[in-house]
Structure 1
Amino acid sequence: MLASTLMLIALLCAGVLIQVPYSEMTPGPTVNTLGDHDGEPVLHISGHKTYPTTGHLNMTTVRVTSADYNMNLVQAVYGWLAHDSKIVPHETLYPDGQTEEQSTQENAEEFSQSQESAKVAALKELDIPVKSWVIVESVLKNSPAVGRLHAGDVIKAVDGTSVKQPQDVAELVTKHKPGENVVFTVVPAKEQAAAEKDGKEATRTQQVTIITKKADDGDRAIVGIQAGTDHTFPFTVDIKLADVGGPSAGLMFALGIYDKLTPGSLTGGTFVAGTGTIDDSGTVGPIGGIQMKTVGARAKGAQYFLTPKDNCAAAARDVPEGLTLVKVDTIDDALNSLEDIREGKTADLPRCATKG
C-alpha cells in the first residue's frame, strides 16, 4: 500500500511538472443585446424611432487561457473529463506563435468589423438605405503600396474600371504581371473623413500608380493591400460592450438592432441566445467554441439557441438539457425561427442534428 501511495504521489508530481502544448476553453459571459451592461445599453440608437423590447437575445462568449499560459498534464486530463471545458491544441487558439497582444488586437478588429456588418445586415433587412464604398483596409509592410496608399483611402477605380466590392480590387490587380504598373483612383482618407464630418460626399480624386510585385505564394501580381468596405449610416447605432472580441456576436447584434427598430418583440418574452458571424448581406457564418457557448447560455437560462448551420453537428453532440438548438444560415432564417418561437410553433423549428 505504501509503495502504491508513493507511486501515485510520484505520478501526480510528474503530471504537475510535465507541460503539454494545449489550451483550455470555458464558457464566458453571455449578455442580452436588448438590455444593459455595466450600467448602459448594449445597443444605443439615436436619430430614428425605436420601440420597447422584452425577452432576451443574448450573445455568448468563450473564455480561453492566455497565449503564455503553460498547461500541465494534470490540468489537461481534468479539462478533458470536465463537461464545461474543452482542451484544444495551443496552436488552434494562437496559430504561428501568435502573442497575447497580437491575439487581442486581431479580436478587437474582428469585433469592430462584426459590429459594422451587423448594422448593415439589420438595416438592409428593414430596407433602410446604407451607403457603402470600397476602402484600403490595411497596407502590408514592405509592400509596393507603402507610402502610396493608406488605410481609409476610398478606392473608386483600378485602371479606370470602377470597383463595387473589395474582391474587385484583387481581380483587377491580378490581371497584371509582376513588375507592371497599376493605377488606383482614390479619395484620400483625410478628405473622406472631412466630407463625412460635414455630411457631404467627397468628390476630389487622385490617381496613384504602383508597380506590382510577385506574391510570395505564387506568380500572381500584388500591390500589398487588403481591401475592405466602409459605410455611412442614416442614423447612429452604437454598440457598447467592453472586454469582448472576435466576430461571433454579429448575428445577435443584428437581431437586437432589428428588434429595437420594429414594433413588438422578436422573442415574445422568451430567453433566446445564439452566436454566429454575419456579413453585410445577412449570411451567418460558423464560429469556434460552440459547445462552451451552449453550456454558458443554458446556465443563464436560455431556452433556445440560434446556431450557425455549419456548427450544428458539433453542437448537437452534447446539448445541455432544456436547450433547443435552432439551425440558421441567414438573418432571415433567424427571424423566421423567432416568429415560430413567439407564436408557439416550436415543432416547426429547424433543429440541429449530429448529421446533415
Structure 2
Amino acid sequence: MAAVPVAALLGVTALAPLPFAVAQPGGTADVLGEYKGKPVLSISGAQLRKTEGELRMTTIVATGPQMDVRLGDVIDGWFRTDRAVMPKDSVYPDGDDVKEVERHNLGDMRESQDDATKAALGYLRANGVDGTDKIKVKADLGKIGGPSAGLFLSLGIIDKLDGDGSGGDLTGGRAIAGSGTIAANGKIGAVGGVALKTQAAARDGATVFLVPKAECSDAEAEKPKGLRLVPVTTLASTVDALRALRKGEDVPSC
C-alpha cells in the first residue's frame, strides 16, 4: 500500500512548478557592426578606423521569471549539453515581475556601457592616444540586458579608434567572441553561463573565445570542437593577447 502514496507524490512533483530556470545558448552581436539594423557603437569626436573581423558578445536565453518549469524540463535540461538548469533566483534575483526584471537588466547594461567607455578611453590615454577627452560613445544593443557585454564594448571602442596600435585590427580578421563584465579601471569580471555562450559563439562562426580566467573550467565543460579559449583578467592584458594571437605568438589558454 505504501507504493500508492509514493506514486501519487511523484505524480504531483512531476506536475508542480519548480524553482528553476532552464537556459540555452542565445544570440551573439558583433560590436563592430550592427544589431537589428543599428550600429552597436556610435562614436563621435575622433576619426574612426575601418575595421575587419568581428568582436561578438554572447548571450544566453532562459525561461521567463513567470514561466513554470516542471520536473520533466529539469530532467531534460540535466541530460542535454545545450541546456542548463539554474536556480531561478540566480537568474532573476529581483523577483518574478517581468517588467521590473527587464528594467533592472537594462539598467545593468547602461552602467556597463559607461564603465566600458571609461575603461577603453583610459586604456587609450595610457597608450598615448590624444584627444580622448573629446570622444563620446553611445552603445545600442536593443533590449539585451545585463553587464556581460562590457569587455566587448571596450574592445570595440579601442578597435574603432586605434586598432592594435600599429595600424592593424585587434581581431586579425578573425571572428572573436566571448563574455565578461568590465570595471572602469579595466578589470574583467565573471559572468556565468559561459558553457552555453561558447556554443553560441561556435554556432555563429567564432574561432576564439575570450573568457574571464576564473571561469575557464566552466567554459571547458562543453567547449565546441575548434574553439580556442583565451583566459583574460584585464583590458590591457586582453589587448596584448589579441595582438599576440594576430602575430601567431604564444597566447595563454584555459
Task: Give 1:129 shift.
Answer: 7.9
Give the TM-score of the pair, scaled to structure 2.
0.88
Partner Cα distance (1:96, 1:105) in 2: 10
- State percent identity of aligned pairs: 39
What residue number does 1:72 align with?
70
Amino acid at match of 1:35: G
Partner Cα distance (1:324, 1:312) in 2: 11
Task: Give 1:332 shift.
Answer: 1.2
Task: Give 1:100 shift.
Answer: 2.2
Amino acid at match of 2:251: L
Q: CA RMSD in A?
A: 2.1
Q: 2:140 aligns with which of 240, 244, 248?
A: 240
Task: Give 1:14 shift.
Answer: 6.1
- What SS is found at the alignment partner of 2:134? coil
Q: 1:52 aligns with which of 41, 50, 53?
A: 50
What residue number does 1:265 align with?
169
Is contact 1:123-1:129 (8 Å) kept?
Answer: no
Amino acid at match of 1:277: T
Question: Which one has a bigger Cα radius of gyration?
Answer: 1
User: 5 Å matches for 1:1-356?
Assistant: 17-95=15-93, 97-127=95-125, 234-262=134-162, 263-345=167-249, 348-352=250-254
Tell me which protein shows more strand as a share of its residues.
1
Task: Give 1:12 shift.
Answer: 10
- What SS is found at the alignment partner of 1:310? helix
Task: Give 1:267 shift.
Answer: 1.0
Task: Give 1:16 shift.
Answer: 5.4
Partner Cα distance (1:96, 1:249) in 2: 20
Partner Cα distance (2:222, 2:64) in 1: 26
Partner Cα distance (1:249, 1:96) in 2: 20
Partner Cα distance (2:101, 2:26) in 1: 17
Instruction: Give the unaligned 5+ runs of structure 2.
Output: 1-7
Task: Give 1:40 shift.
Answer: 2.2
Q: Deviations over 1:29-62 (max 9, x none)?
A: 1001111122221111122111000001110111
Give the TM-score of the pair, scaled to structure 1.
0.64
Amino acid at match of 2:222: D
Amino acid at match of 1:258: I
Partner Cα distance (2:44, 2:95) in 1: 43
Partner Cα distance (2:140, 2:48) in 1: 17
Amino acid at match of 2:161: L
- What SS is found at the alignment partner of 1:280? coil
Query: Matched residue pairs, number?
Result: 240
Task: Give 1:235 shift.
Answer: 2.3
Amino acid at match of 2:152: M
Q: Deviations over 1:301-349 (max 9, x none)?
A: 111100011111221222111111100000111111111221122xx21
Tell me which protein shows more helix as a share of its residues.
2
Is contact 1:114-1:250 (8 Å) kept?
Answer: yes
- What SS is found at the alignment partner of 1:126? helix
Deviates more, 1:86-95 or 1:121-130: 121-130
Task: Give 1:96 shift.
Answer: 6.3
Is contact 1:24-1:64 (8 Å) kept?
Answer: yes
- What SS is found at the alignment partner of 2:108? helix
What residue number does 1:160 align with?
none
Task: Give 1:65 shift.
Answer: 1.2
Partner Cα distance (2:152, 2:105) in 1: 17
- What SS is found at the alignment partner of 1:301? coil
Is contact 1:271-1:304 (8 Å) kept?
Answer: yes
Task: Give 1:264 shift.
Answer: 2.4
Task: Give 1:94 shift.
Answer: 2.3
Task: Give 1:285 shift.
Answer: 0.5
Specify whether residues 114 and 96 from structure 1 end up closer, same or farther in structure 2 by C-alpha distance, changes over 3 A only. Answer: closer
Deviates more, 1:54-63 or 1:92-101: 92-101
Partner Cα distance (1:58, 1:50) in 2: 19
What residue number does 2:4 align with?
none
